[in-house]
Structure 1
């Protein structure tokens, strides 16, 4: 974990189960643990551990409603990933443009 005791967003989304949880929460406004668990072939404890990782990264918010804990997505930390991908997207676009120009020059 980094210095402000938050988990790295890249680390949090590295696991396919956590990416699936993010997708499920993106499609629903809010979901309780028992409902999220029905989408996986694992117990509530395992799903809860994945949700904790997402929560530590700031990707999931939770609130108690009676005895039930409800989870919802907080997508704003995903901007870090979007910005990272956008940087490399520009990098590849620029390099592909250069390659295209080089190939055109060779043909002439």
Structure 2
């Protein structure tokens, strides 16, 4: 069975639509600052900072300070718990659908 803590953290973090949008913007860039994320988002800089804190805590982003700026980049390995969870259930459902297909073939020759 899969460890529930990492997948719960990732899912809980990405469940918020604004936070998910912030993450998606980060994914589309090499690195981006809080100021750049705030621009055009309709969200305050403080709110963006809180979303980044959650994303960082979940292991989805990393930060790199440089002078007065902090640059954020996506950590693809942070999505591994989600990938593993989806893969686990993908196998489960493929098996169930194969069983259903076989059952339907038996019922309707």
TM-score under structure 2 length normalisation: 0.87
Residues 12-21 or 51-60, more deviating? 12-21
Spell out, residue by residue over 1:20-78, the C-alpha distance to the aligned partner (whole angstroms, 9 max, x if none): 12211111000011101124211100011000000111111112221111111111020
Distance 2:16 2:30 in 1: 22
Runs of 4+ in 1 over 3 A off after TM superposition: none
Distance 2:107 2:82 in 1: 37
Q: Which residue of 1 aligns with 2:4?
A: none
| Structure with the higher fraction of residues in helix conformation | 2
TM-score under structure 1 length normalisation: 0.87
Distance 1:43 1:22 in 2: 16
Distance 1:60 1:34 in 2: 16
Q: Which residue of 2 aligns with 1:13?
A: 14
Q: Which residue of 2 aligns with 1:63?
A: 64
Q: Which residue of 2 aligns with 1:92?
A: 93
Q: Which residue of 2 aligns with 1:51?
A: 52
Flag structure 1 segments of 5+ consecutive residues without an equivalent: 1-6
